Every structure is written in C-alpha cells, then in structure tokens.
Amino acid sequence: MPLAMEIPSPCVSVCVLDEDSGYCKGCWRTRTEIAGWQNADTTARLAILENLRERQAADGLRPRRVNKRTTQRRK
C-alpha cells in the first residue's frame, strides 16, 4: 500500500465552500476533510477520495471549474 505522502491532495486551488452542501466547489471535500488531509493516513485519504467520487456521481459529474492552476498545466 502506498504511503500517505504519495497520495496527492485533490485540491485544485478553487477554495470556496458551497453553503448548501458544505463541499468545496473545487475539490468536493468538506471543511473537516480539508483540515484533516495533512495528517490523514493512507486509509483515510483513500476513503476521502472515494467519498469525492460518490459525491461527484450523485451530482451528475459536474465539470470542475477552470482556474489559473489547471489552465497552466494544459499549456
């Protein structure tokens, strides 16, 4: 199993919490998941990533917002 350090953060630098859902509009994590990511072990990180996939699927896989960070990667 990979080390927790090898599982990158799902952050896409669009850090705005949706008031209705409580999820970040960029990475789909909750405030608690965002705050705990740095200290989360591999199992916890994988569980968070699975939760994100489920949230996205339940919302119809809304495309992520484009920001400077993702635009720069595409060039």
Read off the pLDDT of residues 26-68 as tens digits, 9 standing for 90 and up.
Answer: 999 999 999 999 999 999 999 999 999 999 988 886 555 556 5
Q: What is the pTM of this model?
A: 0.71
Which pLDDT score, from 0 to 100, does residue 59 have?
84
Q: Where are the domains of the chain?
A: 14-74
DSSP string, 5-25: GGS-----S---B-TTT-BBT
